[in-house]
Amino acid sequence: MKRPLRAIAAAGLLAAGSIVAVILGGNASADTQICEKFGSTVIGSRYVVQNNRWGTSAQQCINVTSTGFSITRQDGVAPTKGAPISYPSIFVGCHYTNCSPGTNLPVQVKQISSAPSSISYNYVSGAIYDASYDIWLDPTPKKDGVNQMEIMIWLNRQGAIQPIGSPVGTTTLAGRGWEVWRGSNGQNNVISYVAPSAIPGMSFDVMDFINDSRNRGAITSDWYLTSIQAGFEPWQGGVGLAVNTFSQDVRTGGTTTPPTTSSPSPSGTACSVKYTPTSVWDNGFTADVVITNTGTTTAGGWTMTYNLPTGQQITSAWNATVTQSGSAVTAKNVSYNGTLTPGGSTSFGYQGTLRGSYSSPTSFTLNGVACSRA
């Protein structure tokens, strides 16, 4: 089964003792705690983060950061054969009249040239949930209510849960294999693409999945893309689940030119780096790297180099092309994040294996220039 979408409600009173900061349509400049049932806030002047606790009266709280959010409280429990209890998420587009700032959605599918996207998650053990990318489409440019078509990309599934409907086959999209499910929740049709194992992060073109659904006869090119959302559907537990980073760009008309990936300027790029281990366990880790251009000129393509401590080996990456030789790491921009303007930032991340105790790298260079640590 699958949740129906719920309208974003006005701020209301909570039980005594509840901790809450409700921002509806505001812009979060620092960590913001949201416990209100349908509370939301804006980050990066572009994305909306929403609590969306639609399926339970139990308490759920999220901590919103400048790049994503994490679940900090989850009191609800739902049977695994039923619907989840909520969908805390980050999105672009329009969700029940709550539209992200500056969005060009809704837009007809036939007008979209590409929709590059990236996501990095933090997962936890002992909970029942899915990590889902939701893509909503409708025959009309709808900004409120339930859309007729939902595409779900399940990057992780934990526990005895399953998508709506039944499996109809497999496919390869975005360089990965997926099990495909089709069904209806009574309000809208759903196509789900389920990864065979957990994916902690991925960079891809959302149009790969939209075009596959169109080829299956679920939509036509005249339909409208209304929103793209990424988050979690918890059934039980989930404290610590997080969207670390999220980016989405819906490009129309075929006129948008991806950032150049030409060789960096010989003068290099002044920079600062924030390196964060987002998760560490006995034999592995994930890390997030935020690069900021602290210089006065734009970098038209970037390459970062550094050395990993002994015992660390990168196995997968997102938002950058990352290679490793011995301890030496080279990370290069991908097509959609190569332009780094003065004061601008971008990020990438990866998962790796670990032998021994964890430690972070200590020095970085960007286009040949040593970076300061943020």
Q: Which residues are catalytic?
A: 150, 233
Q: Could you give the CA distance from residue 72 to residue 252 in angstroms, rounded to a whole number?
A: 37
Residue 135: closest CA among 82, 194, 213:
213
Is residue 116 within 8 Å of 203, Cβ to Cβ? yes
What are the C-alpha distances in Å from 163 to residues 212, 214, 229, 242, 313?
18, 19, 17, 21, 34
Of 85, 65, 32, 39, which is closest to residue 237 (Cα–Cα)? 85
Tokens of 177: 């294999």
Q: Which distant-in-sequence residues (6+ apart) come within 8 Å of 125 by Cβ? A: none
Bridging pattern class, strands 189-194 and 149-158 = parallel
Q: Cα–Cα distance between 361 and 367 in angstroms, integer?
A: 18
Distance CA 141, CA 258 (A): 27
Tokens linked to 204:
């891809």
Cis-peptide, bond into residue 106, ω within 30° of zero: yes
Q: Which of 6, 4, 207, 7 is nearest to 108 (CA)?
A: 207
